[in-house]
Amino acid sequence: MFVPADDAAPAEESAADTLFQDLDMGLTAQVARFTGGLSPIALAGAWSDWAMHLATSPGKQGQLVVKAGQKVQRLASVLSSCAFRPDAAETCIRPLPQDRRFDHPGWKTWPYNVLSQSFLLTQQWWHNATTDVRGVTHQHEKAVEFASRQLLDVFSPSNFAWTNPEVVQRTFATGGMNLVRGWQNLLTDWQRQVAGAPPAEADRFKPGEAVAVTPGKVVYQNRLIELIQYDPATAKVRPEPVLIVPAWIMKYYILDLSAENSLVRYLTGQGFTVFMISWKNPDADDRNLGMGDYLKLGVMASMDAVSAVTGQPRVHTIGYCLGGTLLSIAAAAMSRDGDDRIATLTLLATQTDFTEAGELTLFINESEIKFLEDMMWQKGYLDTQQMAGAFQILRSNDLVWSRMVRQYLMGEPEHMNDLMAWNADATRMPYRMHSEYLHRLFLHNDLAEGRFSVDAKPVVLSDIRMPVFLVGTERDHVAPWRSVYKFHLTADTEVTFLLTNGGHNAGIVSEPGHPHRHYRMIHASRDDTYVDPDRFMEIAPLREGSWWPELVSWLEDHSGEPVDPPPMGAPEAGYAPIRPAPGTYVFGR
């Protein structure tokens, strides 16, 4: 048995190990600067899994050869027909409904029809090549298919001035001034990017001036949150207050945008006392804040404050995105411990089971998380640029390439609205919290499988007994509605599920009067048998309009008779008003 010569040897060995580990983490952090936070090892692993299985699948290879020949034949047939009938609008393949790149009539004329049809057929062939290869893991298949699609999108003919008929027409019509203006737009954006300045026109949407303008007071503050109590808008209010827990991944005012599309203003106007958490934008000093801190300093501290200010024993709670995930953890823990202060639980675009969490999970594995951890280790947080880039790549056609075509090739200035300004007002994520979130929820699915612990005891979603109002959005790339729907599999309570059109943000910000809005909704009692998502789409009637009135009606059904509004804050209980809304944390950069 080895016996150290003296007590100093283990300490020296430990210091050396730390030095070597820091060297590895520092190298990874430098690599991350050039890869946008994506682990090249994780990508190589997915590619090699696909490539080796395809290389040993002669049947699949033969199928791809046949498909390639069929596509060439179809393309040649259509193009030869167009050669004799130049005005014909024949196509051999149509883009997906959400792909608007080739909507312009010019794409149906020669030679642009050759370019667009060839590209779409190539894209379809690569989808065939990267899917249904036997032996490839599901995650690796999805990752390779996603990566190949992103790479192909770079070379779409719609992205280049000389191969885009709309740009060509605009160039001839303006004498090339569209390209001059586009160059000016590019230089302006580059200068703002280098300076770390917000996008153009974002200054028109400053919190407290154009957005986040619902009047109220900050009645509580700690190192992580400011709690805003909003002024009553009616003579009488429902006795149960509403506590909203937004996601900390972005600023809270997504639910309090302009006056006409603010969920907060709508709820106060319907006779509810509303409280909202405003999360601090973390910095390097907050690197060790974890999920437990967000639960204790965020949700639980706010529950205590709301109860003290209103004097009410029951509280309606609303959680959005990650805020809803955290709120569901709090609700399960409170139910476990006999704390029945939550009257109802509303979850907006919230996942509690992460087995089908969409394209965000494509690269979430041990290799990628290790890469992200090393990247965050250097600064103590995940930077806003990595956060924004991750969401942009999920919708690169809409958020990257189409924007570049409009601004840099068509020469059109970007006119920002309140939702776009909010989206640009990104936040950071603390090192520890983000690491715990990725490991315990995304990677291991601990919450849905009963392994997530609060106060050293597991929390189980089936302990939730209060009524639940669950909202999903049809085109959600962050929290796909079928993933949100999985709450039914773990719930042991009545659940009202509502599916609205729109995406992760625009589907939630869906005020009455908003055009082209519809939704479906069904109610399931605790004793009802399970209805799967496909069956839901069959039996849930389609209703036109905003879903917000349905939420208010549901809350009213679970509320008492109206009473006088509570005072603003409770100085005697230590919750004196501190400053006007929107507070100070919302301005953290």
Active site residues: 321
The tokens of 464 are what? 């939730």
Show the 3-state SS of 174-199: HCCHHHHHHHHHHHHHHHHHHHCCCC
Tokens 């994520």 locate to: 429
3-state DSSP assignment of residue 473: strand
In DSSP terms, which residues pair with 216 in a beta bridge?
230
Q: How many CA atoms lie within 13 A of 89 on its CB side?
A: 7
Tell me, what amino acid is at 465? R
- Taking the C-alpha atoms of residue 70 and residue 66, their distance in angstroms, rounded to an integer, is 6
CB-based contact 445:434 (threshold 8 Å): no
- Taking the C-alpha atoms of residue 504 and residue 20, their distance in angstroms, rounded to an integer, is 42
How far apart, in Å, are the Cα atoms of 417 and each of 409, 422, 552? 22, 9, 27
In the 8-state DSSP scheme, what is residue 575? B
Which DSSP helix (H) or strand (E) runs through 402? helix 402-404
CB-based contact 188:405 (threshold 8 Å): no
- Taking the C-alpha atoms of residue 96 and residue 421, their distance in angstroms, rounded to an integer, is 29
- Taking the C-alpha atoms of residue 560 and residue 62, their distance in angstroms, rounded to an integer, is 68
* C-alpha closest to that of 216 among 582, 528, 585, 471: 582
Provide Rg for the chain, Cα atoms: 27
Tell me, what amino acid is at 116? S
